[in-house]
A and B are shown apart, each in its own frame.
Chain A
Amino acid sequence: MRPEIQEYPFDWMLHKSMHIAFDSLKGSKKEYQYMLNYMPYFKGLMDLLGKYDEPGILFVDMVKDAVDDIMFAHDQGKKICMTTFCFSPIVLFAMDVVPVVMEPLTVLPTILWKRGTYDFMNFCIEAGLSETSCSSQRGALGAYLAGLCEPIDFILFDSGGVCDTNANVFAFSASYLNKPIFQLDYPASFLDKKTREYQRKDFRELISFLESQTGKKLDYDRLRNGLEETHKQDLIISQIDEYQMLKPNPMPPIFNLFMYAGRFLATSKPGYTKLLESMLRTVKNNADQGKSGLQSGKEKCRALFCYIDHYSSDARMWNFLDDNGVSHLGSILSRFFPDHAPYLQDEDINSGYHIQLNSLDDMIDSLTEINARSPMVKSIRGPYDTPYMWLEDALSFARLYQADCIVYSGTPGCRNTWGMVKPFARDTEKQGFPTHIMYSDAFDERVESFETTSLRLAEFFRVRQLI
Chain B
Amino acid sequence: MDLIKQAAFELQNESISAWKKNNNSVVGYTCSQVPLELFYAGGILPVRLRGVGIQGLDIADAYYGPFICSFPKAILQSMAEKKLKHLDGAVIADGCDSMRRLDECWRRASNDYPHMDLPFFHYMNIPRKISDHARDWFIDEIQQLQTALNSYFNVSITLEDIQKAITIYNKSRELIAKIENLRKFNPPKISGSDAFCVSLAAESMVPETFQQQATALYDHFLHHPAEIADGPRILISGSAYDDIHLIQTIEASGANVVGENVCFGPSHRINLVSEEQPPLEALMEHYLLSCPCPRMFGRFDYRMALLKETIRNVQAKGVVLQNIRFCDLHASENGLLERKLEKEGIPCIRLEREYGSQTDTGRLRMRMDAFLERIS
Is there a chain A Cβ closer than 8 Å to B5's Cβ? Answer: no
How many Å from the CB of A275 to the closest CB on chain B? 34
Known contacts A128-B339, A202-B133, A422-B65; A383/B331 CB under 8 A: no
Is there a chain B Cβ closer than 8 Å to A467's Cβ? Answer: no
Closest to B340 in A: A175
Q: Are A164 and B339 in contact (CB under 8 A)?
A: no
Interface 1/0 per residue, A159-187 and B, CB below 8 Å? 01101110111111011100001110101
A283 to B127, CA, bound (A): 43
Interface 1/0 per residue, B97-137 and A, CB below 8 Å? 11011011101100000000000000101011101111001
Is there a chain A Cβ closer than 8 Å to B221's Cβ? Answer: no
Sorting the interface of chain A by its residue count into under 10, 10 to 19, 20 to 34 or 35 or more gives 35 or more
Q: Are B335 and A419 in contact (CB under 8 A)?
A: no
Q: Are B328 and A132 in contact (CB under 8 A)?
A: yes
9-residue interface stretch from B39-47, B149-157, B178-186, B291-299: B291-299
Is there a chain A Cβ closer than 8 Å to B96's Cβ? Answer: yes
Is there a chain A Cβ closer than 8 Å to B338's Cβ? Answer: yes
Point out which of B101, B297, B338 has the most chain A C-beta atoms below 10 A from its C-beta: B297
Is there a chain A Cβ closer than 8 Å to B19's Cβ? Answer: no
How many Å from the CB of B288 to the closest CB on chain A? 12
Q: Are A415 and B326 in contact (CB under 8 A)?
A: yes
A19 to B37, CA, bound (A): 62
Closest to A169 in B: B332
How many Å from the CB of B30 to the closest CB on chain A? 13
Q: Are B101 and A164 in contact (CB under 8 A)?
A: no
Is there a chain A Cβ closer than 8 Å to B62's Cβ? Answer: yes
Q: Are B338 and A419 in contact (CB under 8 A)?
A: no
Q: Could you say which of B69, B128, B133, B335 contacts A128, with CB atoms under 8 Å apart?
A: B335
Q: Are A419 and B298 in contact (CB under 8 A)?
A: no
How many Å from the CB of A453 to the closest CB on chain B? 16
Is there a chain B Cβ closer than 8 Å to A68's Cβ? Answer: no
Is there a chain A Cβ closer than 8 Å to B230's Cβ? Answer: no
- Residues of the A chain whose Cβ atoms lie less than 8 Å from the Cβ of B3: none
A409 to B328, CA, bound (A): 20
Q: Are B97 and A176 in contact (CB under 8 A)?
A: no
Q: Are A423 and B63 in contact (CB under 8 A)?
A: yes
How many Å from the CB of A393 to the closest CB on chain B? 15
Point out which of B68, B103, B104, B329 has the most chain A C-beta atoms below 10 A from its C-beta: B104
- Residues of the B chain whose Cβ atoms lie less than 8 Å from the Cβ of A419: 64-65, 68, 97-98, 100-101, 104-105
- Residues of the B chain whose Cβ atoms lie less than 8 Å from the Cβ of A182: 298
Is there a chain B Cβ closer than 8 Å to A278's Cβ? Answer: no
Is there a chain B Cβ closer than 8 Å to A129's Cβ? Answer: yes
- Residues of the A chain whose Cβ atoms lie less than 8 Å from the Cβ of B326: 132, 415
A164 to B95, CA, bound (A): 10
A413 to B331, CA, bound (A): 13
Known contacts A132-B326, A418-B66; A168/B105 CB under 8 A: no
Q: Are B298 and A183 in contact (CB under 8 A)?
A: yes
Point out which of A130, A132, A165 has the most chain B C-beta atoms below 10 A from its C-beta: A130
Q: Are B323 and A418 in contact (CB under 8 A)?
A: no
Q: Are B96 and A161 in contact (CB under 8 A)?
A: no
Is there a chain B Cβ closer than 8 Å to A392's Cβ? Answer: no
Is there a chain B Cβ closer than 8 Å to A466's Cβ? Answer: no
Is there a chain A Cβ closer than 8 Å to B336's Cβ? Answer: yes
A271 to B65, CA, bound (A): 40
A426 to B107, CA, bound (A): 14
- Residues of the B chain whose Cβ atoms lie less than 8 Å from the Cβ of A172: 332-333, 335-336
Closest to A127 in B: B335
Is there a chain B Cβ closer than 8 Å to A260's Cβ? Answer: no
Q: Could you say which of A161, A164, A187 contacts B329, with CB atoms under 8 Å apart?
A: A164
Is there a chain B Cβ closer than 8 Å to A384's Cβ? Answer: yes
How many Å from the CB of B224 to the closest CB on chain A? 44
Q: Are B131 and A422 in contact (CB under 8 A)?
A: no
Q: Are B127 and A185 in contact (CB under 8 A)?
A: yes
Top 8 closest pairs, chain A to chain B, by CB? A128-B335, A419-B101, A418-B65, A130-B331, A415-B97, A160-B128, A423-B108, A201-B133
For the complex with contacts A129-B335, A130-B323, 12 further pairs of A-B residues with Cβ separation under 8 Å are A161-B127, A168-B294, A169-B332, A172-B332, A181-B297, A188-B94, A189-B125, A197-B133, A201-B131, A415-B326, A419-B105, A422-B65
Using a CB–CB cutoff of 8 Å, the interface residues on chain A facing chain B are: 127-130, 132-133, 160-161, 163-165, 167-172, 174-176, 181-183, 185, 187-189, 194, 197-198, 201-202, 205, 383-385, 412-423, 426, 439
Using a CB–CB cutoff of 8 Å, the interface residues on chain B facing chain A are: 62-69, 94, 96-98, 100-101, 103-105, 107-108, 123, 125, 127-129, 131-134, 137, 140, 294-295, 297-298, 300-301, 323, 325-326, 328-329, 331-336, 338-339
